[in-house]
Structure 1
Amino acid sequence: MTGGNATGRAHGHACLVYDDPAALHARTVEQVGLGLAAGEQVWLVGPEDPDAVARRLAAVPGFADARRHGAVRLFRVDEAYRRDEVVDPGSQVRAYVRATTEALAAGHTGLRVLAEATDLVRTPAQRDAFARYEHRVDHWIRHHPMTAVCAYDRRVLGDAAIAELACLHPETNADVLFRLHAGDDDAAVALAGELDPTDECLFAAALERAEPSPVAGRLVFDATDLRFVDHRALLLLREYAHRHGAVAVLRTHRPAPARLVELLGLTDLRVEVVR
């Protein structure tokens, strides 16, 4: 799944939006195949009874044997998450840290998860907490042998609710203009796509949920995959960094943001143009 807005640096954390259960099934079959081929342990998490899921996957080569030996594990969503409650982001990340560690100890090369998480994000409070969790687990995934597909049913949630979650993944098929996800090296977060006035509120919410922390007085935003940024987004970055006692640094391939910062006189927002 790449879509028109994915970057070339996605790191195994994708948001799948679907309208047809057949699309979810196809992705499930794909993830099982990829995981088994890579020697990973595969977790399939969803609202259905595991035996019903197993019957649908019975024809997938190697599935039955892999389930028998623990290479594929099936869970109801309330076994892997706190269903119908507000997820605690830190606790949920720690649960997947343990699961990844246990998969490695059992001789697998890593952990691959496909989670149908619609039931966990039905209310605004649930979405707020789960969005915070999505960004935290994204950092774990970026640097450890775990991959994840987070699936959401558009028929239940609608596009606006899904956008709150999809924009916090490096890869998605959802119709979102920007993505904010874990960065590399000294970058607190990475930004991709376009930041324009139509998504100002969504971007502000994503930034607050990600809660990037400064290092040595600098809050570095890797914007090398950002095609466009308007002045409102620059002001949001500056204000966020100021509230955290830091200088905002926008790292980009494009000279236009530097010119805009100069025109606006934003002396406490620095632009690093890199090649």
Structure 2
Amino acid sequence: MPRTVVAGPADARGPDNHLSAVFSDDAARDAHMVRFLRPAFERGERMEYFTEATPPETVLRVLEDHGLDATGARERGQLSVVAARDAYLSDGPFDPDRMVEQWHRSVREAERAGFDGLRAVGEMSWYGRGVPGSERLLEYELRIHREVFERLPSLAAMCLYDRRLMTDADVALLDGVHPEHRRIGKERLPPPTLRVVPLEGRAGVALGGEVNHSVRHVVTGVAAALACSETPGTRGTSGEGVVELDLSELEHIDLDGTVRLVSAATREPGRRLVVVDPPPCLLRLLDIFPELNAALEVVSR
């Protein structure tokens, strides 16, 4: 399950190399930035900062004010500060497939240039502002755990969520997808209607809360990620492709949500959907619609 880190020294890259940080003022933003990037200066990692609301000169000044040679790092090609939209949207609408390729390319380029990995910070307040393709951000966040971070151990990235520029509902949903959450003080979020967490080391997601008409956009993102899930079967190796839905913390799911998720998870030939601890309402739906029941396996743990 995701863990929340409130305070403490900057830690090394590890299993939780995809972080989120939520803040409500510039001081907290700066503290998250400095804590996360300081190890890159110490270890010789390349740094990329994708800004949306913070002027690039502010990023450099904050780092310099905390004793980090940002100007020198920028001059020698170790640090770049660019607009998030230039990074994510330079070739058209936001596209998770293109972003996955971009991360792999950026890490290769950093290592070829002699850097000990790549450390990136992205301001995410462009979400929900009518940016083309932004509705695919949840799909992207769910996919990159397996498609990017599990394969690139020298990469660490932190997503910054500014509560002044995003709704709490959006922040809570996207923050919850990350394996580690950074907080300063009592920065608490109300729980989203539907909680979504990618499963560690296997294809699928865990859902909590409710699937109803108010979270159709969330279901769309989850379904898109499930449809792209890479399993042993879909990678062309031996073995059946299994996608797992952990519903042990789900209280309710309606018919529309069930059909969308089951259809997406079993879209690829040879895939098998395993549903863990479904709520009673889903079991009733499976009794009423046997064609859904035939597409999955229900297990209890």
Q: Which residue of 2 aligns with 1:103?
A: 110
User: Secondary structure at 1:122's aligned position in 2?
Assistant: coil
Q: Which residue, out of 204, 212, 225, partners 1:189? A: 204
RMSD over equivalenced CA pairs, Å: 3.6
Q: Cα offset for 1:207?
A: 1.5
State how 1:213-224 maps to structure 2 within 5 Å: 213=229, 215=233, 218-221=241-244, 223=246
State how 1:1-275 maps to structure 2 within 5 Å: 2-3=3-4, 11-47=16-52, 48-64=54-70, 65-82=72-89, 86-119=93-126, 121-123=128-130, 125-138=132-145, 139-144=147-152, 145-163=154-172, 165-172=174-181, 175-176=191-192, 178-181=195-198, 183-184=200-201, 187-191=202-206, 194-197=208-211, 201=216, 203-210=218-225, 211-213=227-229, 215=233, 218-221=241-244, 223=246, 227-230=248-251, 232=253, 235-236=258-259, 237-245=261-269, 246-250=271-275, 256-257=277-278, 264-265=286-287, 266-272=293-299
User: Secondary structure at 2:220's aligned position in 1?
Assistant: helix
User: Take 1:22 and 1:260, find their aligned partners in 2: how far apart are those partners?
Assistant: 46
User: Secondary structure at 1:169's aligned position in 2?
Assistant: coil
User: Secondary structure at 1:36's aligned position in 2?
Assistant: helix
TM-score (norm 1): 0.75
User: Take 1:106 and 1:68, find their aligned partners in 2: how far apart are those partners?
Assistant: 14
Fraction of identical pairs, as percent: 25
User: Take 1:79 and 1:240, find their aligned partners in 2: how far apart are those partners?
Assistant: 31
**Structure with greater proportional helix content:** 1
Residue identity matched to 2:149: I
- 139-148 vs 61-70, greater mean Cα deviation: 61-70
Structure 2 residue runs of 5 or longer lacking an equivalent are 6-13, 183-188, 234-238, 288-292
User: Take 1:67 and 1:191, find their aligned partners in 2: how far apart are those partners?
Assistant: 41
User: Take 1:262 and 1:126, find their aligned partners in 2: how far apart are those partners?
Assistant: 35
Q: 1:118 touches 1:152 (CA, 8 Å); kept in 2?
A: yes
Q: Cα offset for 1:262?
A: 6.8
User: Secondary structure at 2:60's aligned position in 1?
Assistant: helix
Q: 2:253 touches 2:281 (CA, 8 Å); kept in 1?
A: no
Structure 1 residue runs of 5 or longer lacking an equivalent are none
Residue identity matched to 1:238: V
| Residues 123 and 82 of structure 1: CA distance in aligned 2, closer, same or farther (over 3 Å) | same
- Equivalent pairs, count: 261
